């Protein structure tokens, strides 16, 4: 610190002492309202604030950034401003970079963030589903992405705020429509080498649903996967079964059970419960256990 700055500090401190002494003298206001409160403002001349003042201001910014009580940004100037403000709250001692934010026609609620080495611009790609998201949702997403970029812990309240929005019925319906419009489903015909899924569906429908279950699209997966034996895609309304079952040595009971399981997904759609998407509801699980040879079928699947 230069000599001029030190001299200015001494003058300010003397002035503060004088104000404090004046404040301790009894006045009409102090006798009626109690001891007055003394507020001191320091102005430092020179290029930089003294180290003790810089540290105090930094601690104040950090404590106000919501480390213990996370609060959303109130910026109304668009996503770039929201990301800049969130960056300042996350890294108050670092110069705020530029943000380049683009909304892209993804088939899902996808978000990415990256910063090239040596660059002063953070590139963010967001699903265009987020274009009309409320500012507090964009703020939560900014906190999540920046925390991941700088490997910091994501506040639970921030994550929950974002997940509550993504799991709302309106957003789920929008995501389903986008997946149906933009997504592609690579499925082989239901008539396989050994088994015909159309005929098997009709048989199971008569046996377990009295023929009342509507028939979605049916098909075999392109690959004989052991990890994903079957799934129902509500966006494309199709049941896909792994080709690992379309073999002569594959146990037919296991195939019937997997198809029955996916048929239950058609009958019992997923339910939204707060930030959770419940795929296997209690009603689903209760009906699944009525399948003849339920335990044996699961053992057969484990042995594949």
Instruction: Give residue 170's domain range.
Output: 79-182
Write down which residue in 132, 158, 182 finishes a domain: 182
Query: Are 51 and 20 found together in one domain?
Result: yes
Residue 292: pLDDT above 50?
A: yes
- If asked whether residues 28 and 101 sit together in one domain, one would say no
Residues 219-232: tens digit of each pLDDT: 999 999 999 999 99
**Mean pLDDT, to the nearest integer, of 279-292?**
95
CATH, residue 253: 3.30.2010.10
The b-or-e profile of 238-250 (16+ CB within 10 A means b, else e) is: bbbbbbbbbeeeb
For residues 164-173, average pLDDT = 93
Same domain, 83 and 173: yes
Q: Is residue 49 part of a domain?
A: yes
List CB contacts of 158: < 8 A, sequence separation 6 or more: 70, 140, 143, 144
pTM score, two decimals?
0.62
Query: The domain that contains 95 carries what CATH number?
Result: 3.30.2010
Instruction: Confirm whether 45 is domain-assigned.
Output: yes
Q: For the chain, what percent of residues have pLDDT higher than 70?
A: 75
- Percentage of the chain beyond pLDDT 90 is 67
pLDDT tens track for 181-237: 998 889 999 999 999 999 999 999 999 999 999 999 999 999 999 999 999 999 999
Rounded Cα distance, 68 and 66, in Å: 5
* Contact (Cβ atoms closer than 8 angstroms) between residue 116 and residue 99: no
Listed residue (206, 215, 256, 270) closest to 238, CA to CA: 215
Residue 291 shares a structural domain with residue 210:
yes
Question: Within this chain, do residues 202 and 170 fall inside the same structural domain, yes or no?
Answer: no
Domain annotation covers residue 62: no
Q: Nearest-CA neighbor of 260 among 300, 292, 234?
A: 292
What dihedral do alpha carbons 117, 123, 125, 130 form, nearest 10°? 140
Instruction: Report yes or no on 67 lying in a domain.
Output: no
**Residue 61 confidence (pLDDT):** 47
Number of domains in the chain: 3
C-alpha closest to that of 272 among 285, 264, 281: 281
Q: Is residue 69 part of a domain?
A: no
pLDDT in tens, 30-89: 333 333 332 223 233 334 444 444 444 444 444 444 443 444 444 456 899 999 999 999
Shared domain for 96 and 170, answered yes or no, is yes
């Amino acid at each position: 610190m230069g000599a001029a700055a030190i001299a200015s500090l001494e003058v300010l401190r003397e002035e503060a002492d004088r104000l404090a002494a004046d404040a301790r003298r009894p006045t009409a206001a102090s006798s009626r309202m109690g001891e007055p409160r003394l507020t001191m403002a320091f102005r430092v001349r020179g290029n930089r604030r003294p180290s003790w003042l810089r540290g105090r201001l930094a601690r104040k910014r950090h404590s106000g950034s919501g480390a213990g009580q996370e609060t959303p940004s109130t910026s109304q100037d668009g996503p770039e401003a929201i990301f800049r403000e969130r960056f300042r709250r996350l890294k108050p001692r670092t110069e705020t970079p530029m943000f380049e934010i683009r909304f892209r026609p993804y088939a899902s609620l996808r978000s990415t963030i990256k910063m090239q080495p040596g660059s002063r611009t953070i590139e963010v790609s967001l699903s265009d589903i987020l274009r009309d998201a409320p500012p507090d949702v964009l703020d939560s997403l900014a906190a999540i992405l920046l925390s991941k970029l700088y490997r910091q812990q994501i506040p639970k309240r921030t994550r929950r705020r974002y997940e509550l929005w993504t799991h709302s019925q309106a957003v789920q319906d929008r995501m389903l429509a986008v997946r149906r419009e933009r997504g592609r489903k690579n499925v082989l015909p239901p008539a396989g080498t050994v088994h015909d899924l159309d005929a098997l569906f009709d048989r199971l429908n008569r046996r377990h649903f009295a023929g009342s279950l509507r028939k979605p699209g049916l098909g075999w997966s392109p690959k004989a996967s052991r990890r994903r034996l079957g799934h129902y895609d509500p966006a494309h309304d199709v049941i896909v079964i792994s080709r690992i079952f379309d073999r002569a040595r594959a146990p037919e009971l296991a195939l019937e059970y997997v198809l029955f399981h996916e048929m239950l997904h058609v009958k019992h759609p997923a339910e939204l419960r707060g930030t959770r998407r419940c795929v296997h509801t209690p009603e689903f699980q209760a009906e699944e256990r009525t399948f003849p040879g339920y335990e044996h079928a699961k053992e057969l699947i484990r042995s594949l």
